[in-house]
Structure 1
Amino acid sequence: MLTIALEQAAFRAYHGLYPEETVIGNDFLLDISVRIPGSVTIDDLTDTVNYQGIYEIAKEIMAQPKPLLEEVVYALSDTLKARYPAIQYSTVTLRKLNPPMGASIRNSLVSLEKEY
């Protein structure tokens, strides 16, 4: 298997259950890792998953506010698979930095692993 990934892509987004989160927003870090068959040598971008394409999908999904982070990681996973059918496995991890919980917490985290 060949792994293609983005790590700690930073976004300012408006995901969250609380009204102030949809106005003020939060800072997020996103990790995306996908695996495709690695049985043949890849010498052309069309034979692999373009990590610029992964970022563009992430940017598009992160711009659509959702109440639950779970919705965001599922949307990312589904869109990646639809756009890159060769993907056989993905992990999408989304961290909300300094979540508004009235406590000192570095981040909350939701992670989704899928095997196709």
Structure 2
Amino acid sequence: MLTVGLEQATFRAFHGLYPEERILGNDFIVDIFVTIPGTRHIDSISETVNYQGLYNIVRKIMAIPQPLLEQVVYDISDAVKEKYPEIQRSIVSLKKLNPPMGASIRNSIVTLEKNY
């Protein structure tokens, strides 16, 4: 198996349940890893998952405000699988930095792991 991924892709986005989050936005970090069959040498980008393609998918999904981070990670996972049907597994983590909870918290996190 071969894993391709991105770590700590940073975005300013407007996800959240509270109206203030939809207006002010927040900073988010996305980690994404996908696994494909990979027991042979790869000679071409067409034989693997292009991490620029992963980034473009994540950027597009992050631009669509959602009330729940859970929906965002499902949307990313579904879009990646649609573009790269050879994927056998994905892990998508979304961190909201300094969530508005009235406490000192570095980040909240939602992670979705899927086997296809």
1:26 aligns with 2:6: no
**Aligned counterparts, 1:1-116, within 5 A:** 1-116=1-116
Q: Please, what is the CA RMSD of the aligned residues?
A: 0.4
CA distance in 1: counterparts of 2:25 and 2:31, whole angstroms: 19
CA distance in 2: counterparts of 1:43 and 1:65, whole angstroms: 38
CA distance in 2: counterparts of 1:67 and 1:43, whole angstroms: 42
Amino acid in structure 1 at the alignment position of 2:6: L
CA distance in 2: counterparts of 1:55 and 1:48, whole angstroms: 15
For 2:8, what is the secondary structure of its paired residue?
strand
For 2:27, what is the secondary structure of its paired residue?
strand
Q: Deviations over 1:26-64 (max 9, x none)?
A: 000000000000122110011110000000000000000
Task: With the length of structure 2 as denominator, give the TM-score of the two structures.
Answer: 0.99
Gaps of 5+ in 1: none
For 2:66, what is the secondary structure of its paired residue?
coil
CA distance in 2: counterparts of 1:2 and 1:45, whole angstroms: 13
Gaps of 5+ in 2: none
Aligned length: 116
* Aligned residues with identical type, % of pairs: 66
Task: With the length of structure 1 as denominator, give the TM-score of the two structures.
Answer: 0.99
